[in-house]
Amino acid sequence: MNPDLVARGADGKVNTARYEAVNAMLLNEFLKEHRKVEQQEATIGEVKSTVARQEMTMTKQEVIIAQQQKQIEALTAGLQTVSNQLELSRPAPQVVADNQ
């Protein structure tokens, strides 16, 4: 029991409860808890907002990665085509006979 909520006699023993103080104490505790809940709700809102921004950023990054992958594939195909053309345009190796 909270010592502030009791009235003691001259002998120091509890005589009665201070009921008028109970309501004030309960209201004070309620207000403290209510502030905590409001702070937690604000924090949850901030976290949700941060997660939403991160998801949006991830989506943008995924789009960029997909575009870069397509560019890499196109460049690889172009490089292969050029490589094939170079191979075809090279003259065939010739064998030289050594008639000494």
* 89 located within any domain: no
* 60 located within any domain: yes
Contacts 24+ apart (CB under 8 A), 68-74: none
Statement: the pTM of the whole predicted model exceeds 0.75: no
Q: What is the mean pLDDT of each run of 10 residues along the chain (100 residues)?
A: 81 85 90 97 96 90 93 95 87 73
* 7 located within any domain: no
* 88 located within any domain: no
What's the confidence (pLDDT) of residue 97?
Answer: 73
* 92 located within any domain: no
What domain range includes position 78?
A: 14-83
| Structural domains in the chain (count) | 1
What's the confidence (pLDDT) of residue 100?
Answer: 67
* 93 located within any domain: no
What's the confidence (pLDDT) of residue 73?
Answer: 96
- 3-state class percentages of the chain: helix first, strand second, coil last, to nearest 5: 75, 5, 20
* 98 located within any domain: no
